[in-house]
Amino acid sequence: MAAPKVAVVGAGVVGLSTALCIVETCPSCSVTVISDQFSPNTTSDVAAGILIPHTYPGTPIHVQKQWFKETFAYLFAISNSAEASEAGIHLVSGWQVFKNTPKEELPFWSDAVLGFRPMSEAELRKFPQHQFGQAFTTLKCDCPSYLLWLEKRLKATGVQMYTRKVTDLWELHSEYNIVVNCAGIGAHQLVGDQKLFPVRGQVLKVHAPWVKNFIRDGDGLTYIYPGIHRVTLGGTREKESWSLSPDPGTTKDIFDRCCSLEPSLRGAQDIKVKVGLRPSRRCVRLQREDLSQGGVKLPVVHNYGHGAGGFSVHRGTAKEAARLVGECIAALQGSSSRAKL
């Protein structure tokens, strides 16, 4: 069989990192990324990009932990290299604070981040409305920089990128041997997945270079994540809302909530408002499927539905998707050699 031709649909963090893992694990493959939007116009561009896992109720915890550890190790190595600033990856220390002590004082990812420990009484004095907290160091992506860095690496290995909306995965069967579906919330329409729903998130990106530590309220709704260029202030989680229009009332509410955690933000400048739709599902859809029409088969690997935690687990799920692509190639090679007999 000639070099297998693989199309990856989607150019968010999941599509680009999956394409990269496929190139790394199958250098003989010819990989093409097809997407109707590229950076800076994807959901991944809107994200805060902090590595703090979200829990997928339909995925075993040990699997989620493995995805997170692989992603953390990959980005930690970048943060510790000469590429760090171009890739937009850096370490950031801070606090997750709770108004009431949570049931689980040790989250499943506590030993995957760095220096996880309960906050001291003295540290908690910074947060008079909170009675419990966790201090740790994690990684943060400057999302548009990271996406451009991934695109650059892909182009350097010869990966082609085309702007095109795919209306049906089957339309790719005449040109490609394998299709990888990384369409994020777009998969709702593309493959009619009714289990996939949007969770709208509105955030503010502000200029406040004196804020150096992250602060996250344990309820997950209010957060302050300093990045290389801007500080991301969040947020909202609006299930089943498809609106991409910023809401001015929500902007004020987010700003006030963040200022109550970090009063110095009252001096923040150049406030930009962004909205994104988290591609949410009980579990990430990471599986093979064979499409077939009139006796012709098209192997598909799905990798979408990362919800609120796509950056936190992207490398782990991309590796697994690349492994599934390897299985599809082995199956194709098996059937083509059987056909020759």
**Binding residues vs ligand FAD (CB under 6 A):** 9-15, 34-37, 42-44, 46-50, 165-166, 182-186, 190, 201, 203, 235, 276, 278-279, 304, 306-312
Beta partners for 197? 280
On whether 43 is known to bind a ligand per the annotation, the reply is yes
What's the min distance (Å) between Cβ of 52 and ligand FAD? 7
What's the min distance (Å) between Cβ of 207 and ligand FAD? 18
Which C-beta is closer to ligand FAD: that of 161 or that of 331?
A: 161
On whether 278 is known to bind a ligand per the annotation, the reply is yes
Which C-beta is closer to ligand FAD: that of 27 or that of 252?
A: 252
Which C-beta is closer to ligand FAD: that of 3 or that of 61?
A: 61
Return the ∠ at Cα 142 (arms to 309 and 284), rounded to 5°. 20
Which C-beta is closer to ligand FAD: that of 4 or that of 279?
A: 279
Which C-beta is closer to ligand FAD: that of 271 or that of 332?
A: 271
What's the min distance (Å) between Cβ of 1 and ligand FAD? 27
CB atoms < 10 A from the CB of 340, how many?
6
What's the min distance (Å) between Cβ of 23 and ligand FAD? 17
On whether 337 is known to bind a ligand per the annotation, the reply is no
Which C-beta is closer to ligand FAD: that of 177 or that of 202?
A: 202
What's the min distance (Å) between Cβ of 45 and ligand FAD? 7
What's the min distance (Å) between Cβ of 3 and ligand FAD? 23
What's the min distance (Å) between Cβ of 5 and ligand FAD? 17
On whether 44 is known to bind a ligand per the annotation, the reply is yes
On whether 162 is known to bind a ligand per the annotation, the reply is no
Distances (CA, A) of 145 to 35, 95, 251: 18, 25, 25
Q: What is the 3-state secondary structure (H, E, C) of the chain?
A: CCCCEEEEECCCHHHHHHHHHHHHHCCCCEEEEEECCCCCCCHHHHCCCECCCCCCCCCCHHHHHHHHHHHHHHHHHHHCCCCHHHHCEEEEEEEEEECCCCCCCCCCCCCCCEEEEECCHHHHCCCCCCCEEEEEEEEEECHHHHHHHHHHHHHHCCCEEEECCCCCHHHHCCCCCEEEECCHHHHHHHCCCCCCEEEEEEEEEEECCCCCCEEEECCCCCEEEECCCCEEEECCCEECCCCCCCCHHHHHHHHHHHHHHCHHHHHCEEEEEEEEEEEECCCCEEEEEEEEECCEEEEEEEEECCHHHHHHHHHHHHHHHHHHHHHHHHHHHHHHHHHHC
List binding-site positions for D-dopa: 223, 278
List binding-site positions: 43-44, 166, 223, 278
List binding-site positions for FAD: 43-44, 166
